[in-house]
Structure 1
Amino acid sequence: MRILAYSHRRDETQYFEEFSKKYNVEVVSCNEEPSLETAPLAKGFDCISIITTNINSELVGKFHELGVKFISTRTIGYDHIDLKKAKELGVRVGNVTYSPNSVADYTIMLILMAVRKVKLIMERSNVQDFSLRGIQGKELPNLTIGVVGTGKIGRTVIKHLSGFGCKILAHDIYENDEMKSNAKYVDLDNLFKDSDIITLHMPATDDNYHIINKKAIKLMKDGVFIINTARGSLINTNDLIHGIESKKIGGAALDVIEQESNIYYSDLKGETLKNRNLAILKSFPNVIITPHAAFYTDQAVSDMIENSIKSCILFSENKENPWEIDI
């Protein structure tokens, strides 16, 4: 079989070569993102592999017209694909799974950086200001951490955090019995009320849209820290900014943000950011911004490519596919 892989990066090359040989498939890679202009490259391919580029209804329709039957995104999230249009046209969609340690490790790094005010410390050090004023931090054993979402990544965060001696609260519509030895499941309002740090590990769905909003922030402790390595749409960015400016929120560490598409993964030095809220957040000394990089480890990239290829093979062989999205 043949797979067209859009948005090929140099760091993916060795894995595409390795796994195409392992599974005896032909992978044709192109550096271009999927778009109406580049869609004709997919003619003759049943399966395409993409990353986070927005695949809107028009583009889904174009791929269907060209004969594409399966879209595999090399990401866990799939909110960038118009699933409604895909279902209407019978185009099937799959995501991938990858090492949960990648995002979990990064999340804990951001938690520590936020509560120890590392951004301010590093900015001062860069201009040889080595004073201690304003950089006193907090210790995790004295804090309660609320983990919202206990899927694979959320569970890994809880396991890793259990070694720090902090109290851990958890919330998920599906409770995991294994986690109950390290975390206490509570309803969402109580998690907001009782947590010093709140970290998000949920998919982007209609039900989860802006789960962090003005009402939720009002419930939270004064000085709460908010960490997001999941999806930008989980947080109402305007409400977050207001919470930081009013000092209700003590700090934030965000690897994702609303309207990040066409900004992250691009070199925009010398350009005006086309995202006013991102520019505002970057200006705050107590907000850490990173460019949707939590996933980015050698193991995760290997997993993403291998599982995308395996997903396409399972689709083509009409076999049960654990990565296919039920739409």
Structure 2
Amino acid sequence: MKVSFFSVRDDEIDYIHQYAKKYDIEIDIHRDALTLDNVDLCQGSQAISIMTTKTDEAIIKKLSDYQVVYISTRTIGFDHIDLMACEKYGIHVGNVSYSLASVAEYTVMMILMALRNMKLIVERFASQDFSLNRIRGKELTHLTVGIIGTGKIGQEVIRYLSGFSCHIIAYDRYPQESLKDDVEYVDLETLWKRSDVISLHAPSMESTYHMINKDSIQKMKDGVVIINTARGSLIDTDDLIVGIENQKIGYAALDVVENESHLYYQEYKNEVINHHQLAILRSFPNVLLTPHTAFFTHQAVSDMVEYSIISAKATYEHQENPWLIL
């Protein structure tokens, strides 16, 4: 079989060649994202592998015309793919999993950096300001951390946090029985009220859209710390900005933001960036921003490429596919 890869970064190329050889498939590698203008590059391929670019019905119809039977996204999230159109045209869809440690370790790092005001410390040190003004931190061991979403990554974050002896509470629509000795499951209202730190690990869905908003922020503790390594759509960014400006929110550490897909993973040095909310967030001394890099480790990238190939081949050969969504 043949798989066409799109949105390929330099760091993925060696892995693509390595696993194509291992699993005996043909490949086409394209650095550009899949669009309606270049979808003809998929002709002759039975599957495609994409990243987070929008894949709408117009593209999916063309894929069907070219007899593509499988779309694999090299991400956990798949909300950028029109699943209804895929079902309409008979195209299967799958995501991937990858090293849980990548995002979980990054989350804990962001929690600690937020609690110790690390952005301000680093920026001051660079300008040889070694004063202590406004950089006194908090100790995680004395705080309550609220985890929203106890799927695989949320569970790994809980496992790491347990070593800090902090109190952990959690919310999930489907509580994990295996965690009930390690965390206290509570409803969302209770989590908002009791958490010193809130860490988001929920998927992007209609029910989670803007779950952090002016109403939920109002219920939180004064000075609450908000961590997001999940999806930007979980937070109403305008309401977050207001919460920071009125000092209700003490710190925000965000690896993801709303409307980032056109922006992150590109270089815009000395250019005007078309993202007003990001410009405001960057200006705050108590907001730590990173460009959706929590996943970005050697192991995770290797997993994403390998599992994309395995899942495409499994579906094409009518074998069990653990990443199959549709």
Any residues of structure 2 matched to 1:187-266 within 5 Å, and which? 187-266=187-266
* 1:106 alignment counterpart: 106
Secondary structure of 1:141's aligned partner: helix
* 1:273 alignment counterpart: 273
1:48 counterpart = 2:53: no
Secondary structure of 1:181's aligned partner: coil
Q: Quote the Cα distance in structure 2 between the aligned partners of 1:219 and 1:250.
A: 14
Any residues of structure 2 matched to 1:140-219 within 5 Å, and which? 140-219=140-219
Q: 2:255·2:292 contact (CA, 8 Å) conserved in 1?
A: yes
Offset, 1:62: 2.4
Offset, 1:14: 1.8
Q: 2:48·2:68 contact (CA, 8 Å) conserved in 1?
A: yes
* 1:71 alignment counterpart: 71
* 2:130 alignment counterpart: 130
| TM-score in terms of structure 2 length | 0.98
| TM-score in terms of structure 1 length | 0.98
- String of CA shifts for 1:149-188, please: whole Å, max 9, x gaps: 0111000000000000100001111111222222111111
Offset, 1:268: 0.6
What letter matches 1:282 in structure 2? Answer: R
What letter matches 1:14 in structure 2? Answer: D
* 2:116 alignment counterpart: 116
What letter matches 2:24 in structure 1? Answer: N
Offset, 1:217: 0.6
What letter matches 2:229 in structure 1? Answer: T
* 1:292 alignment counterpart: 292
Secondary structure of 2:104's aligned partner: helix
What letter matches 2:48 in structure 1? Answer: I
Offset, 1:46: 1.4
Q: Quote the Cα distance in structure 2 between the aligned partners of 1:164 and 1:293.
A: 24
Offset, 1:277: 0.5
1:323 counterpart = 2:323: yes
Secondary structure of 2:180's aligned partner: helix
Offset, 1:64: 2.1
Q: Quote the Cα distance in structure 2 between the aligned partners of 1:294 and 1:169.
A: 23
- String of CA shifts for 1:182-232, please: whole Å, max 9, x gaps: 211111111111000000001101111111111111111010010000000
Q: Quote the Cα distance in structure 2 between the aligned partners of 1:270 and 1:91.
A: 42
Offset, 1:31: 1.2
Q: Quote the Cα distance in structure 2 between the aligned partners of 1:142 and 1:153.
A: 23
* 1:4 alignment counterpart: 4
Q: Quote the Cα distance in structure 2 between the aligned partners of 1:61 and 1:261.
A: 23
Q: Gaps spanning 5+ residues in structure 1: where?
A: none
Q: Quote the Cα distance in structure 2 between the aligned partners of 1:7 and 1:289.
A: 23
Q: Quote the Cα distance in structure 1 between the aligned partners of 2:22 and 2:204.
A: 33
What letter matches 1:270 in structure 2? Answer: N
Q: Quote the Cα distance in structure 1 between the aligned partners of 2:255 and 2:129.
A: 27
What letter matches 2:170 in structure 1? Answer: A
Offset, 1:66: 2.3
Runs of 4+ in 1 over 6 A off after TM superposition: none
* 1:15 alignment counterpart: 15
Using the aligned pairs only, state the percent identity: 53
CA RMSD in angstroms comes to 1.0
Q: Gaps spanning 5+ residues in structure 2: where?
A: none
- String of CA shifts for 1:231-287, please: whole Å, max 9, x gaps: 000111011111001100001000000000110000011111111101110110000
Secondary structure of 1:154's aligned partner: helix
Q: 2:69·2:316 contact (CA, 8 Å) conserved in 1?
A: no
Offset, 1:52: 1.1
Secondary structure of 1:210's aligned partner: coil
